[in-house]
């Protein structure tokens, strides 16, 4: 459990965690109250603790240099992406948001998160697509548009690269 907490300081991604199992744990936490809510949350943490993870940030948590400024800029970017992932996002638009040039922003974002900005946006879009693939009966083409991809072939390529299987295979596996 301590390993999970230490990794969380740098951001973690859980790899190959079955969506339906995670949703069951999350629903149990959401629908419970008091001590039962805490117990359900701890059960979820125990489950996540044994899952395969990947650290998202390459910066050690002890690095303090300009960390408050850096965190506030990264948080602005993350908030912007979460609010706007459904539409095209230009690097210049995000760089301007935090008063950086495009090239400096690209280096800054990669150093801060361990991801290239475009890859990060694609990961967010694919994560949202996973939810829609499970929860809706919308076509894959419609879902790709709903999460911000303008090209179905690129959506399928990015989905396969990130998830290791096609959107259709993911839907069949998880519904």
Instruction: Please write the tens of the pLDDT for every residue from 101-112.
Output: 999 999 999 988
Confidence of residue 57 (pLDDT cuts 50, 70, 90): low
Q: Are 123 and 115 in contact (CB under 8 A)?
A: yes
Tokens of 38: 């805490």
pTM (predicted TM-score): 0.65
First-residue to last-residue Cα distance in the chain: 30
H/E stretch holding 53 reads strand 52-55
The reported pLDDT for the residue numbered 17 is: 83
Residue keyed to tokens 């990060």: 120
Report pLDDT digits (tens) over 39-51: 999 898 888 888 8
pLDDT averaged over every residue in the chain: 88
The reported pLDDT for the residue numbered 67 is: 64
SS3 152: helix
Q: Bigger pLDDT: 169 or 17?
A: 169
């Amino acid at each position: 459990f301590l390993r999970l907490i230490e990794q969380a300081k740098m951001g973690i991604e859980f790899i190959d965690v079955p969506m339906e199992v995670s949703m069951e744990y999350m629903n149990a936490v959401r629908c419970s109250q008091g001590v039962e809510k805490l117990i359900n949350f701890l059960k979820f943490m125990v489950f996540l603790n044994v899952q395969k993870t990947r650290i998202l940030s390459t910066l050690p948590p002890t690095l303090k240099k300009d960390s408050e400024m850096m965190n506030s800029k990264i948080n602005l970017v993350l908030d912007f992406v979460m609010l706007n992932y459904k539409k095209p996002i230009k690097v210049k638009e995000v760089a301007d948001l935090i008063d950086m040039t495009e090239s400096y922003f690209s280096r800054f974002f990669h150093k801060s998160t361990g991801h290239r900005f475009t890859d990060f946006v694609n990961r967010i879009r694919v994560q949202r697509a996973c939810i829609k693939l499970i929860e809706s009966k919308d076509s894959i083409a419609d879902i790709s548009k709903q999460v911000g991809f303008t090209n179905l072939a690129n959506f399928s390529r990015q989905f396969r690269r990130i998830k290791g299987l096609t959107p259709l295979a993911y839907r069949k596996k998880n519904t």
